[in-house]
Amino acid sequence: MKSRLGFRELVARGADVVKGDVHWSDEHRVYLKAKLKCQSCGHQDPIRGAVQYQLPDGTALSAGQHMGLLPKEAIAQCRSCSARWPVFKGGSTAAIGAGSGAVETIETDRSLVPHRTDPLELDNLDGTSPLKHTVTISQEWAQTVQLDDEKSKVEGGTTSADLPGVGTFGRKAEAAVKSTYSITEGTKKALTREFSFEVPPGTKRVVSFNYAQVWQHEVARLRGADGAVAEIPFKVAVDMTVNVAQHDTTA
């Protein structure tokens, strides 16, 4: 049967489709285009990715950094064969964060924000045998960074006194965060799942696919030369989830 989701949304897509103007290295672009498949050993994991992201010294990067906050020197390492390659193109990423001090980030909590609900009606009221229906849902979302300017604060130093609010130094810190994290901003991802239903005869089932955006909350901390410390809370969209609610009515 034809579902009310429409066929446009039934096209199966990889879990990690990447579009947009991100300056990936050639190696990483090939890995992404191959739906997260290591080109050395063929290991593939379309949900989690085949690689662990890390710094050049081998320090593993956090989940939040995986999704939206990869530093320009990030290395991808295959979980299976340990092949390593740079994530970003050297030349085009060198300018990112230029002119700003190092930004230290601290992960705080995660939150789930309802995104949208798609209904699906499976009407088997007049049926005499079970109605079987399989649907593939796909929801595209964008990696996004949102600064919480209202909660920004600057402590110490001399620059915090020059203007109300976070002042000049605070605004510099915000600009640093924006430029550091703009690298993957707007990168599109897609959540894709398949669901199967079996509706008994004489039954109408109304299904709701409830999507929610997962946000990782973090605080960026920037230290100025004069001892000032700026703290800027922000959040990064790191995942999309779906849960299914269903309600049956009988004839």
CB of residue 41 to Zn ion, shortest distance in Å? 3
Distance between CA 21 and CA 34 in Å, rounded?
18
Number of residues that bind Zn ion (CB under 5 A): 8
- For residue 30, state whether it binds Zn ion (rule: CB under 5 A): no
Cβ within 8 Å of residue 8, ≥6 positions away = none
DSSP 44: B
Name residue 97's beta-bridge partners: none
Amino acid identity at 116:
R
Q: How far apart are the first and last CA of the chain?
A: 20
Which of 87, 238 has the CB closer to Zn ion? 87
Stretch that binds Zn ion, among 53-61, 76-84, 113-121, 154-162 (CB under 5 A): 76-84
Q: Report how far residue 73's alpha carbon sits from residue 61's, in angstroms, rounded to the nearest whole number.
A: 12
The contact pattern for Zn ion, residues 41-60, with x = CB under 5 A and - = no contact, is x-x-----------------
Contact yes or no for 168/160 (Cβ under 8 A): no
Contact between 34 and Zn ion by CB under 5 A: the answer reads no
The least CB distance from residue 233 to Zn ion, in Å, is 37
Nearer to Zn ion, 78 or 137 (CB): 78
Using the minimum distance from each CB to Zn ion, give the nearer residue, 36 or 191: 36
| Region near Zn ion per CB under 5 A, out of 9-17, 72-80, 191-199, 227-235 | 72-80
Nearest approach in angstroms of CB 79 to Zn ion is: 8
Residues 6+ apart with CB under 8 A from 154: 160, 166, 167, 169, 170, 173, 228, 229, 230, 231
Per-residue CA distances from 107 to 90, 104, 138, 165, 221 (Å): 27, 10, 29, 24, 11
- Smallest gap, in angstroms, from Cβ of residue 50 to Zn ion? 6
Stretch that binds Zn ion, among 29-37, 80-88, 156-164, 181-189 (CB under 5 A): 80-88
State which residue, 40 or 179, has the beta carbon closest to Zn ion: 40
* Binding region for Zn ion (CB under 5 A): 38, 40-41, 43, 78, 80-81, 83
